[in-house]
A and B are shown apart, each in its own frame.
Chain A
Amino acid sequence: MNPTPSPPPTTTADPRSRAERAAQSLRATAAETRALEESALRLTSVGNDSAALGQQLSAAVESIAASAEQTSVSTANIARSQANAAELTQTVLGGIEDSATALREVAASVVGVKKDTALLAEAAENTAAAIEESVRSIRVVASNAQDLAASSEELLASGTEMAAGIVGIAARADSAAAALVEVGATTEEMARGIERLTNDARDVSTRISSVNASTAGIAKSVLEIAERGKELGVSVANTASTAERMSRAAAVAADSAKQLEGATGQNASTVAEVAASVEEVAATSEKNARVVDDNATSVEELARSAQSVSRAAEDIARLADATATGAMQVDGSTRRIARLCEQAREVGDRVVHTAREGGGAVAKSIEGLAKIKVSIGSSAAVMKEMAQRADEIGDFVQTINLIADRTNLLSLNASIEAARAGEHGRGFAVVAEEIRSLADRAATASSDIAKIIRALQTIAREALTATMEGERVASDGASLAAAAERALTEIVTGVQEVGQSVREVAQSADEQVTVVQSLTQSSNTFRTQANLIVEAASEQAKATQDIVRGANEMRQMAKQTNQAAVEQARALRDLVRSNERLTQNAQAVAATAAEQASGATGLAQTAVQMRGLTDTTLNALNEQSTLARNIAAQTEEVRSAIDRTLVGLTEQSKGAVEIAKTLDSVHKDAQQTSKALAEQTKAGKDLEAASRSVATLAGSVTRATNEQTKAIAEIAKNAEEVRRIARQTARALDEQSGVLSSLAEGAAHQSASIAAVRKASSEQATSIGEISRAVDDMRARIREIVGVTSTQARGAQSLSRELDELSGRIVTIRAANVEQAALVEGLTASLDAGGTAAP
Chain B
Amino acid sequence: MKLHVVFVVAGVEYALPITFVLQMESFTGATPVPGSPPYVLGVVTLRGRVIPVLDLRRRFGLPAVAPTLDTRIIVTQVGGRVVAFCVDRAREVILLEPERLQPAPELLSERTIGFVNGTYTVGQRLLLLLDLPRISESDHDHEPHALPAADDHRRPALPG
Contact A416 B69 (CB under 8 A): no
In the complex, the answer to whether A416 meets B91 with C-beta atoms within 8 Å is: no
- Are A412 and B69 in contact, CB atoms less than 8 angstroms apart? no
Chain A 378-414 per-residue mask, 1 if CB under 8 angstroms from chain B, else 0:
0000000000000000000000011001101100110
Alpha-carbon gap, A429 to B2, bound state (A): 13
Complex Cα gap A413–B19 (Å): 12
Q: Cβ of A415 and Cβ of B18 under 8 Å apart?
A: yes
- Is the CB–CB distance between A413 and B69 below 8 Å? no
Measured between beta carbons, the chain A residues less than 8 angstroms from B33 are none
Task: List chain A residues, Cβ under 8 A from B72.
Answer: 409
Shortest C-beta distance, A98 to chain B (Å), equals 57
* Interface contact B24-A416, CB-CB below 8 Å: yes
Q: A433-B93, A436-B93 are in contact. Are A409 and B25 (CB under 8 A)?
A: yes
Asked if B19 contacts A419 (CB within 8 A), the reply is: yes
A416 x B25 contact (CB < 8 A): no
Given contact pairs A409-B25, A416-B5, A436 touches B91 in the complex (Cβ within 8 A) = yes
Residues of chain B with a CB closer than 8 A to A401's CB = 69
Knowing A402-B69, A405-B69, the reply to whether A436 touches B26 (Cβ < 8 A) is no
Which residues of A are found within 8 Å of B19, using beta-carbon distances? 419-420
B30 within 8 A of A: no
Kindly list chain B residues whose C-beta atoms are within 8 Å of the C-beta of A409.
24-26, 72
B110: interface (CB < 8 Å): no
Q: Check B101 for interface membership: any CB of A closer than 8 A.
A: no
Q: Which residues in window 738-783 of A have CB below 8 A to B? A: none
Residues in chain B near residue A402, CB distance under 8 A: 69
Q: How far is the CA of A28 from the CA of B19 in the complex (A)?
A: 185
Q: Considering the chains assembled together, what is the distance between the CA atoms of A409 and B24 in angstroms?
A: 7
- Interface residue? A182 (CB, 8 A): no
Residue pair B3, A415 in contact (C-beta under 8 Å): yes
A412–B24 Cα distance when bound, in Å, is: 7
The answer, yes or no, to whether B92 is at the interface (CB within 8 Å) is: yes
Interface string of B59-93 (1 = CB under 8 A from A): 00000000001101000000000000000001111
CB within 8 Å for A419 and B24 given contacts A401-B69, A436-B92: no
Question: Which of the residues A406, A416, A436 comes within 8 Å of B18, measured between beta carbons?
Answer: A416
Contacts of B21 in A (CB 8 A): 416
Q: Contacts of B24 on A, CB cut-off 8 Å?
A: 409, 412-413, 416
Identity of the chain B residue whose Cβ is nearest the Cβ of A412 in the assembled complex? B24
CB pair A412–B3 under 8 Å, yes or no, is no
- Is A440 close to B, CB under 8 A? yes
Q: Find chain A residues with CB under 8 A from B5 CB.
A: 412, 416
Complex: A402 Cα to B68 Cα, angstroms: 12
Known A405-B26, A408-B91; contact A419-B69, beta-carbon cutoff 8 A:
no
The residue on B at minimum CB distance from A398 is: B69
Cβ of B26 and Cβ of A415 under 8 Å apart? no
Q: State A408–B72 Cα separation when bound (angstroms).
A: 11
Query: With a CB–CB cut-off of 8 A, which chain B residues contact A436?
Result: 91-93
The DSSP consensus for interface residues of chain B is: strand
Structural contact, B91 and A440, CB atoms closer than 8 A = yes
* Docked complex: A412-458 residues within 8 A CB-CB of B: 412-413, 415-416, 419-420, 429, 433, 436, 440
Contact with A along B16-39 (1 / 0, CB 8 A): 001101111110000000000000
Q: Are the CB atoms of A412 and B22 closer together than 8 Å?
A: no
**B26 engages A412 (CB within 8 Å):** no
- Given the contacts A401-B69, A408-B91, A419-B18, A413 and B23 also touching, CB distance less than 8 Å: yes
Chain A residues within 8 Å of B92, by CB:
412, 436
In whole angstroms, how far apart are the Cα atoms of A79 and B159 in the complex?
121
Identity of the chain A residue whose Cβ is nearest the Cβ of B23 in the assembled complex: A413
Interface bits A222-258 vs B (CB < 8 Å: 1, else 0) = 0000000000000000000000000000000000000
A406, B18: Cα distance in complex, Å: 19
In the assembled complex, the Cα of A401 lies from the Cα of B92 at a distance in Å of 16
A415 CB, nearest partner CB in chain B, Å: 5
Residue of A nearest to B69 (CB): A405
Residues 126-149 of B contacting A (Cβ, < 8 Å): none
Q: Is the CB of A419 within 8 A of B3?
A: yes
Please give, as numbers and ranges, the residues of chain A lying within 8 Å of B93 by CB-CB distance. Answer: 412, 415-416, 433, 436
Instruction: Report the minimal beta-carbon distance from A223 to chain B, rounded to whole angstroms.
Output: 111
Most buried by B among A402, A409, A429, A440: A409
- Asked if B26 contacts A416 (CB within 8 A), the reply is no
Chain B residue with minimal CB distance to A440? B91
Chain B residue numbers with a CB within 8 Å of A419 are 3, 18-19
Among the interface residues B23, B24, B93, which one has the most CB atoms of the partner chain A within 10 A?
B93
CA–CA, A436 and B93, complex, Å: 9
CB neighbors of A among B34-67 (8 A): none
> How far apart are B98's CB and chain A's nearest CB, in angstroms?
15
Scoring A408, A409, A412, A440 by chain B CB atoms within 10 A of each residue's CB, the highest score goes to A412
**Which residues of chain B come closer than 8 Å to A440, judged between CB atoms?**
91
* Complex interface bits, A591-603 against B, C-beta within 8 A gives 1, otherwise 0: 0000000000000
- A408: chain B residues within 8 A (beta carbon): 91
Residue among A401, A408, A436 facing the most chain B CB atoms (10 A cut-off): A408
Chain B residues positioned under 8 Å from A413 (CB to CB)? 23-24
How far is A429 from B65 in the complex, measured between Cα atoms in Å? 33
Cα A405 to Cα B69 with chains together (Å): 8
Closest chain A residue to B19 by CB distance? A419
Chain B residues within an 8 Å CB radius of A415: 3, 18, 93
- With a cutoff of 8 Å between Cβ atoms, the chain A residues found around residue B25 in the complex are 409
Q: Once bound together, how far apart are the Cα atoms of A478 and B5, in whole Å?
A: 70
Give CA–CA (A401, B91) in the complex, Å: 13
CB B104 to nearest CB in A, in angstroms, measures 25
Chain B residues whose CB sits within 8 angstroms of the CB of A405 once the complex forms: 26, 69-70
Which residues of B lie under 8 Å from residue A420 when comparing CB positions?
Answer: 19
Cα–Cα, bound, A405→B26 (Å): 9
Nearest CB in chain B to that of A408: its residue: B91
> What is the minimal beta-carbon distance from A412 to any residue of chain B, in angstroms?
5
- Inter-chain CA distance A416–B5, complex, in Å, is 9
Cα of A412 to Cα of B4 in the assembled complex, Å: 11
Q: Inside 8 A of A429's CB, which chain B residues have their CB?
A: 3
User: Considering the chains assembled together, what is the distance between the CA atoms of A408 and B25 in angstroms?
Assistant: 10
A254-281 vs B, Cβ < 8 Å mask (1 yes, 0 no): 0000000000000000000000000000
Binary interface profile of B, 108-135, with partner A (CB < 8 Å = 1, else 0)? 0000000000000000000000000000
A402 CA to B70 CA in the complex, in Å? 10
In chain A between 202 and 238, which residues have their CB closer than 8 angstroms to a CB of chain B? none
User: How distant is the Cα of A484 from the Cα of B19 in the complex, in angstroms?
Assistant: 87
Which residue of chain A has its CB nearest to the CB of B18? A419
Beyond A413-B23, A413-B24, 9 additional contacts (C-beta under 8 Å) are A401-B69, A405-B26, A406-B26, A409-B25, A412-B5, A412-B90, A419-B3, A436-B92, A440-B91
Please name 12 pairs of A and B residues whose Cβ atoms are closer than 8 Å in the assembled complex, sorted by A.
A401-B69, A402-B69, A409-B26, A413-B23, A415-B3, A415-B18, A416-B24, A419-B18, A419-B19, A420-B19, A433-B93, A440-B91
Q: Which 4 A-B pairs have the closest CB atoms?
A: A419-B18, A415-B93, A412-B24, A408-B91
